[in-house]
């Protein structure tokens, strides 16, 4: 099969022939149709310090995908050959305290598809059956390919109730943009988004934000007054990891405000812990997706929400045949686009 392969530690990939993976008795073999390019994949291609300390090579990368089931192990149930599927890329041990308690997203031994074991930038991928999500309702393969980042957005946006609440979203990359659409779908009152990219701020408005704010030019307190808010934001989604974002969010929260943190900072930064305490704020770290409540929520919302479905699909901005993977990665690296899709039916 053709695959995007990193033969050893170092920058770059090879688009080359690799042996097809063989499924075990509890596994599913999938013919990959589409993959999304994630920021993690860009780190792996560059082989920066993060990649060097976290990734195991040799490796087939890629963890955002949709495909068609071609083989099902004898121990796998409720998955059939021909099913359109996506994959939960966090593979858990099943034996730690959290796994046994049903909190699999908190497994202490999680392995990442395309990070610690061969992934989906290939014509075929193998996953444990319990990690395979079957799309029973019709869904476009491109949208199915971004269920992983869409799940990050849904997990973050549903961390706290946002019904009737005022929501601040800092960071309008693809996941931040999808979180805006989810907050609007589930009934937030005002949704305000911040970024420094005019392109992404325009996309935030298309996702349903009431205000899209360039924080270099406009003060969030003024935005609150313009919207008629009197007491600060009730819920925050910190999606950027930018050092200035969380302190600014804390400064604009109502007393008792709740903040879900998905953005990964590249370096430590100071925040006003006194304000966190005296304003009785709740900060919650978010990583990946809840297994599998987030997946149920994603499928249900897309099945019943026409506007949400259109907004999520519109996040996909560029499409390339898999053989043109370099152009796809360069587009994703530019930072001015939404999600970039590789088509693995064109190798």
Domains of the chain, with CATH numbers?
2-146+315-343 (3.90.180.10), 153-285 (3.40.50.720)
Residue 332: pLDDT above 80? Answer: yes
- Give percent of the chain above pLDDT 70: 100
Instruction: Give 337 or 228, the one with higher predicted confidence.
Output: 228
Q: What is the mean pLDDT of residues 237-245?
A: 95
Closest CA to 237 of 192, 294, 295: 192
Q: Which residues are annotated as a binding site for NAD(+)?
A: 175, 195, 200, 262-264, 286-287
pLDDT digits (tens, 9 = 90+) for 293-306: 999 999 999 999 99
Residue 336: pLDDT above 80? Answer: no
Closest CA to 151 of 90, 196, 213: 90
3-state helix, strand, coil in the chain (%, to 5): 35, 25, 40
CA 201 to chain centre: 19
Give the residue numbers annotated as catalytic, written as ranges: 40, 43
What residues form DSSP beta bridges with 126? 29
pLDDT digits (tens, 9 = 90+) for 170-186: 999 999 999 999 999 99
Give the pLDDT band of residue 189 (cuts 50, 70, 90). Answer: very high
Q: Which residues are annotated as a binding site for Zn(2+)?
A: 38, 63-64, 93, 96, 99, 107
Whole-prediction pTM value? 0.95
pLDDT value for 94: 96
Residue 49: pLDDT above 80? Answer: yes
Contact 93, 56 (CB under 8 A): no
Q: What is the mean pLDDT of residues 214-226?
A: 96
Contacts of 161 (CB under 8 A, 6+ apart): 235
Q: Which residues are annotated as a binding site?
A: 38, 63-64, 93, 96, 99, 107, 175, 195, 200, 262-264, 286-287
Phi, psi of 84 (to 5 degrees): -85, 125
When the pLDDT of each residue in the chain is averaged and rounded to a whole number, the result is: 96
User: Which CA distances in Å does 172 have to 59, 246, 275, 339?
Assistant: 30, 14, 26, 12
Q: How far, in Å, CA of 189 to CA of 147, rounded?
A: 26
């Amino acid at each position: 099969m053709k695959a995007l392969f990193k033969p050893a530690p170092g920058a770059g990939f090879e688009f080359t022939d690799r042996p097809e993976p063989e499924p075990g008795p509890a596994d599913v073999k999938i013919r990959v149709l589409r993959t999304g390019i994630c920021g993690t994949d860009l780190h792996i291609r560059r082989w920066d310090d993060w990649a060097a300390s976290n990734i195991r090579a040799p490796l087939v990368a890629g963890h955002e995908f949709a495909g068609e089931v071609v083989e099902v192990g004898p121990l796998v149930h409720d998955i059939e050959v021909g099913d359109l599927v996506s994959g939960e890329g966090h593979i858990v041990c099943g034996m730690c305290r959290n796994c046994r308690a049903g909190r699999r997203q908190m497994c202490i031994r999680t392995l990442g598809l395309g990070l610690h074991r061969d992934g989906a930038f290939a014509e075929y991928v193998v996953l444990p059956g319990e990690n395979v999500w079957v799309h029973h309702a019709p869904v476009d393969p491109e949208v199915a390919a971004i269920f992983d980042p869409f799940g990050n957005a849904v997990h973050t946006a549903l961390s706290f109730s946002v019904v009737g609440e005022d929501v601040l979203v800092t960071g309008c990359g693809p996941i931040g943009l999808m979180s805006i659409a989810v907050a609007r779908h589930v009934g937030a009152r005002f949704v305000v988004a911040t970024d420094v990219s005019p392109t992404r701020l325009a996309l935030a408005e298309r996702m349903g934000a009431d205000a899209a704010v360039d924080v270099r030019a406009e003060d969030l307190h003024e935005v609150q007054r313009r919207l008629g808010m009197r007491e600060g934001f009730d819920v925050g989604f910190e999606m950027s990891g930018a050092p200035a974002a969380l302190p600014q969010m804390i400064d604009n929260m109502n007393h008792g405000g709740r903040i879900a943190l998905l953005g990964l900072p590249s370096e430590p930064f100071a925040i006003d812990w006194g304000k966190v305490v005296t304003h009785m704020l709740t900060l919650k770290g978010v990583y990946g997706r809840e297994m599998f409540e987030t997946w149920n929520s994603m499928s249900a919302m897309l099945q019943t929400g026409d506007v949400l479905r259109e907004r999520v699909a519109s996040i996909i901005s560029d499409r390339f045949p898999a053989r043109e993977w370099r152009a796809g990665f360069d587009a994703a690296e530019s930072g001015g686009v939404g999600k970039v899709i590789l088509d693995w039916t064109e190798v």
